[in-house]
Amino acid sequence: CSSDLAELASVARAADALAARGPFAGIVCNAGVQDAGPPRFSRDGHEAAFAVNVLAHAGLVLRLATPGTTRIAWIGSGTLDPDDAGARRFGFRGGRYTTARALAAGDGDPDVDDAQRARDRYATSKLCDLLLARALAARGYHAFALDPGLMPGTGLARAHPLARRV
């Protein structure tokens, strides 16, 4: 079963196909998009990091997870924390939540350049994942988020200039 996580209809089709194979003991929300410049948009018109990192995961989890049974892990990031010294060294300022509508539209701080807005979008998507995990946990799901730390070699930062890649 394959899916284009940037297209919500594709996510729904994949979730429906997977549901026939369930129930699931666990779901790991690990996909990630991190751009380095102006926002890119999904076919649905949502900013790419928000579409993949947040909306796709929420769509899968809400279709496949069973409260009290399914364990749900979001792979998070310290970039969401404005006080994380490691993230700050790479230019992250922490999650900057405004509204879901504004995040989906790719709106950001007009006083910074495209590269900073891209870092803000990624950090904010990870903040949204943490908030989703917390909200689902409050509703009886076994949901949590974890920060695996810096993950060199994953290709996540491939869109960044060489000096920013690890």
**pTM across the whole model:** 0.85
Q: Which two tokens stand for residue 62?
A: 């809400």
Residue 54 vs residues 89, 90, 92: alpha-carbon distances, Å: 25, 22, 18
What is the H or E stretch that residue 28 is in? strand 26-29
Q: Which helix (H) or strand (E) element contains residue 115?
A: helix 114-138
Distance CA 143, CA 124 (A): 19
Residue pointed to by tokens 């102006």: 38
Please choose, from the candidates 128, 119, 109, the residue with its C-alpha nearest in 3D space to the C-alpha of residue 57: 128
Strand bridging mode 142-146 / 26-29: unpaired
> Tokens standing for 81?
């924390």
Lowest-pLDDT choice from 58-67, 68-77, 145-154: 145-154
Q: Tokens for 122?
A: 């990624």
Q: What is the per-residue pLDDT across 81-124, written as a single tens digit (0 to 9) for each?
A: 999 999 999 999 999 999 999 999 999 999 999 999 999 999 99
pLDDT at 161 over 60: no
pLDDT digits (tens, 9 = 90+) for 9-42: 999 999 999 999 988 999 999 978 898 899 999 9
